[in-house]
Amino acid sequence: MDLRLLSSFLAVVEEGHFGRAAARLFLSPAAVTQHIAKLESALGAPLLHRGPPVSPTPAGLRMAGHARTLLAAADAARDDMAEFTGTGGAPGRPDEGRPLRVGIMGHGSAELTPAAINAFRRARPGVPVEVGQLDFTEHSSALLEDRVDVAFIRPAPDDERVAVDVLTTEQRIVAVPESSPYAAAREEGLRVADVAAIPFFRVPPHTPRPFTEYLYFGDEGARRGDAFALTPQEVLTGVVTGRAAGSGLKSFARYYGWPGAVFVPVLDAPWESTYLAVRADDAGRPHPEIPVFRALTLALARELGPQISRGAAPR
C-alpha cells in the first residue's frame, strides 16, 4: 500500500480539512484529493464525508487506525535501517534470529497486548517472539535483570532505569466474593473510604512500592487478609474462596470473569494507566527490534486505547 496515500488520508482525518492537510504535507489540495480518491478506489469504500466539515466514514475510522500502525511501522523500519545507510550493502546482522522477549503482568493492556504482539509478528515474521508472564514482584526487575526486552506493566515504575509509554487508562475496580456485602454495590460503585474496610490479599515484602500503592489505593495501612498472591489467578482464587479481595482495572472483569467473583467500580479512585516499559539508555545489548515493537504498540494504543478506557472490547 502506498504510504503517500496513507499520509494524505491521515492528515485529512486529523485536520478535518483538505486545505490544511495539504499545507501540513507541503502538497497542493488537488494532490491530496487525488491521493484520497486513489485510496478509496483501491479499498472499494468511501473513507471520508466531504462535509463541511470533512469527517471519516465508519470505514474511514477503521482505516485511520490501520494507517497509523502502517506509518509507524514504516518509520520504525527507516530508523532500524539507518545504520546501513551508505555502507553499500546490508551485511548480516549479528542479532538475526534473536528472540524478542515480551513480559506481561496479568492481562497487560487488555486487548491491546495481543494486538501489538500479533502486529509485530506480521511485520517481522522472521523474528521469534517469546511471551512470558510476570508476577507482581517483577514489576521492573524482569527488565532490569535482562529477562525480558519489553514489558506490559502497571503502574509506572519509580526507577530512572526504566522508560515507559502510556498505553491505556482505565477506571479502578475491586474484586470481592459474591457473598461479600460489598458485592451489592456492583452497579452503583464504592468510594475509596469504603474500600479501606475490605481485607485485601497480601504480597511479598520485596514487591516494589509503586505496585503495592497501586494495589491498596495508596493506603499502606490497608486491611490485609491471610491470603498471599503473586498473580491475578491467585487473587481470583482468594476472592472466590472468600479469603481476600483484590483490586485492578475495569478490563480485569473481561479477562477474569470467574464465577463467584464480583467486580465493583471505585468511583473516586484516580484512573490508572498501563504502560509499555523498556530499559532506558540500555548500555548492554538492546534488542534491535524494540523500536519496531514500540512504534507498532503506540500506534495501536492510539486506535484501541480509547475503546479500552471506555470499557468496550475492541473489535
Q: What is the mean pLDDT of residues 264-274?
A: 96
**Given 1.10.230.10, 1.10.10.10, 3.40.50.11540, 2.60.40.10, which CATH number is that of 3-79?**
1.10.10.10
pLDDT value of residue 303: 81
Q: What is the pLDDT of residues 160-209, one digit of tens each?
A: 999 999 999 999 999 999 999 999 999 999 999 998 889 999 999 899 99
How many other C-beta atoms are found inside a 10 Å radius of the C-beta of residue 290?
Answer: 18
Q: How far apart are CA 256 and CA 127, in angstroms?
A: 31
If one counts every other C-beta atom within 10 angstroms of the C-beta of residue 197, the result is: 11
172-270 has which fold? D-Maltodextrin-Binding Protein; domain 2 (3.40.190)
Domain boundaries, the chain: 3-79, 100-169+273-310, 172-270
Q: 3-79 and 100-169+273-310: same fold?
A: no
pLDDT digits (tens, 9 = 90+) for 58-102: 999 888 888 888 887 777 777 666 655 544 444 445 556 789 999
Q: What percent of the chain clears pLDDT 70, i.e. is strictly above it?
A: 92
**CA separation (Å) from 149 to 19, 170, 251?**
43, 25, 25
Distance CA 34, CA 223 (A): 64
Cβ atoms 208, 135 nearer than 8 A: no
Superfamily of domain 100-169+273-310: Periplasmic binding protein-like II (3.40.190.10)
- pLDDT reported for residue 82: 62
Q: Give the burial string for 297-314 (b: 16+ CB within 10 Å, else e).
A: bbbbbebbbebbbeeeee
Q: Which long-range contacts (CB under 8 A, 24 or more apart) does 55-63 make?
A: 55/16, 56/13, 60/9, 60/13, 63/9
Residue carrying C-alpha cell 464504592: 190
Please give the pLDDT value at position 90.
Answer: 44
What does the pLDDT read at residue 89?
A: 41
Predicted pLDDT at 231: 94
Interval 199-240: pLDDT, tens: 999 999 899 999 999 999 998 778 888 889 999 999 999 999
